[in-house]
Chains A and B, each alone.
Chain A
């Protein structure tokens, strides 16, 4: 999973139009290999639209490069092996089993019509065990709660073994212990050289990231460190100044918590 290029993902002057409405307006950014960035902002700020544009899943103007190579130059399958996507509330037909869903993550690595290899099966087993879903691998998605289903979808993304992970609200419906587990998994991924971008509504989880991208009105209004007061100011500003900040010590390190005001 070691990234082949120091810049995992970059965007230059990316804009997304939804009809007449400009959902993303001239955004430029850069994500290093081994870095986790949290994308935050109020509802309708353009976070999901930007993430989809970065993943090449919606039409956008501007240029996006993956591992230094422009998006259009990537062959479809190779691109799918390099970038893993976890969408917001992915619709799930209830009839696929947990194992089938996780195995879909290996599709970019498999030849057409080929059965899953021993390696595919081993990777899927690890992914399902990572999200603690291995024990109910024979259950169908329809038999899972929202949070359990989200963990299975995360296992599907992990099974891709990509260099870049783009996750849109990956923790929707996930309980607190598994949110903490998710933080561990993301740190593990970045330690292995992967880059992660996650849209998060839970600001205190977003403040655990290596960096925070703040969006409002379709624009990237701030990119900074989670402990930087300027970042806190930008966040307060986009959330109508309805945040208050509390400082706390965590193993000698200063951390910040955002509370509603």
Chain B
């Protein structure tokens, strides 16, 4: 039996990897003037300095969000959990708003401002998750943790909105961050995301037996001898790290973290060690594809990729709801 299951996991992994390679290749050929195939030979610098890091960056951010989504859904045992559940999105927005306010007072090079904003987004996302953990008194009670995440998200979001009212000059930049964009992803950003992804993926797969155990309830996980509390801390830390790394580089990108694990589970059902890895690949394909569409659909006008993922993700959620109402939910399709 397992030969069949493993082959279906490998088959899906190969399909996604091939699709990813294709997306990266096409991504190198799509610019502000649309689908420019002929530029492949002539504009090497443009491709290597702008299009390739941007395309790879979109794929890496998507992989991070896909992994974070699969972790969130496994940890909270909720198929609707997404990476922003613990307030990291609002925390990152607030970090960006504070960064804009502070850096707009100083005369700095645009590169330094970019690095500073990215760092502030990262810190904001991390601090929001830490605050959720403190307010919920740890990781023991999932419901308390989720409620704390909602409270932190609302409060930090309100503070960010207050800053926008007080400093209207930052509205454009913060708005752009909240819409999500892969336009400014550079090689160093790709390197950072790749390092975080490699670390988080390896650690998540190593800790994935906890998610398998938790799938049958906390008592069962404990009875199987799993160190539930410490592994839960590890996985929550990885969830926050992946989300913060992606959000800091690309802004708020909706639905990729939610949809990637769902799309994987529609094709492959099995242990979390494999679904986590497949969700990485699926997230990379989703955001890589969305980035291509964002660039090419209305060229030379570029759509914010976050808007595109929100529209496509919203459509996917409606599709899921339709599946539920027609009775093809968990019982048959196992989608929700």
Residues of A whose CB lies within 8 Å of any CB of B are 52, 55-57, 76-77, 79-81, 83-85, 87, 90-97, 99-101, 104-105, 107-108, 112-113, 137-138, 140, 142-143, 153, 156
Contacts and interface: CB of A to CB of B under 8 A. Distances in A.
Contacts of B325: none
B334 A81 contact: no
A143 B224 contact: no
A91 B217 CA distance: 5
A85 B331 contact: no
B299 interface: no
B327 to A, nearest CB: 13
Interface in B1-18: 1-2, 4-5
Contacts of B66: none
B209 A107 contact: yes
Interface stretch (B171-179, B264-272, B286-294): B264-272
Given A92-B216, A142-B334, A97 B225 contact: no
Interface string B254-275: 0000000000010001110001
A138 B224 contact: no
13 contacts: A56-B222, A76-B227, A87-B217, A91-B77, A91-B217, A93-B74, A94-B334, A96-B215, A96-B271, A100-B212, A107-B225, A142-B330, A143-B331
A140 B219 contact: no
A100 B271 contact: yes
B207 to A, nearest CB: 10
A93 B225 contact: no
Nearest to B274: A100
A107 B213 contact: yes
A93 B215 contact: yes
B183 to A, nearest CB: 36
Interface string B298-311: 00000000000000
Contacts of A105: 224
Contacts of A90: 216-217, 219-220
A90 B223 CA distance: 12
Contact of A107 (B219, B224, B269, B331): B224
Nearest to A110: B209
B331 A91 contact: no
Nearest to A81: B225
A112 B227 CA distance: 12
Q: Chain A contact residues: over half helix, strand or loop, or mixed?
A: mixed
A90 B215 CA distance: 9
The 9 closest A-B pairs by CB, nearest first: A80-B225, A85-B223, A93-B215, A142-B330, A77-B225, A142-B334, A140-B269, A108-B225, A94-B330
Contact of B222 (A57, A84, A113): A57
Given A87-B223, A107-B212, A156-B216, 8 more contacts: A80-B225, A90-B217, A97-B5, A97-B270, A100-B271, A104-B216, A142-B330, A143-B332
A86 B213 CA distance: 13
Contacts of A92: 215-216
Given A95-B269, A95-B275, A138 B4 contact: yes
A92 B224 CA distance: 15
B4 A101 contact: no
B206 interface: yes
Contacts of B223: 55, 57, 80, 83-85, 87
A91 B227 contact: no
B332 A113 contact: no
A143 B333 CA distance: 8
Contact of B216 (A79, A91, A99): A91
B50 interface: no
A69 to B, nearest CB: 16
Contact of B270 (A79, A96, A104, A153): A96
A176 to B, nearest CB: 24
A137 to B, nearest CB: 5
Interface in B214-241: 215-217, 219-220, 222-227
Contacts of A112: 206, 209
B275 to A, nearest CB: 7
Nearest to A113: B206
A123 to B, nearest CB: 14
Interface string B101-143: 0000000000000000000000000000000000000000000
B105 to A, nearest CB: 50
Contacts of A76: 225, 227
Nearest to A80: B225
Nearest to B271: A100
Given A57-B219, A80-B223, A137 B334 contact: no
A108 to B, nearest CB: 5
Nearest to A57: B219
A113 B202 CA distance: 11
A95 B217 CA distance: 14
Interface centre among B74, B223, B334 (most CB of A within 10 A): B223
Contacts of A83: 223
Contacts of B227: 76
B233 to A, nearest CB: 16
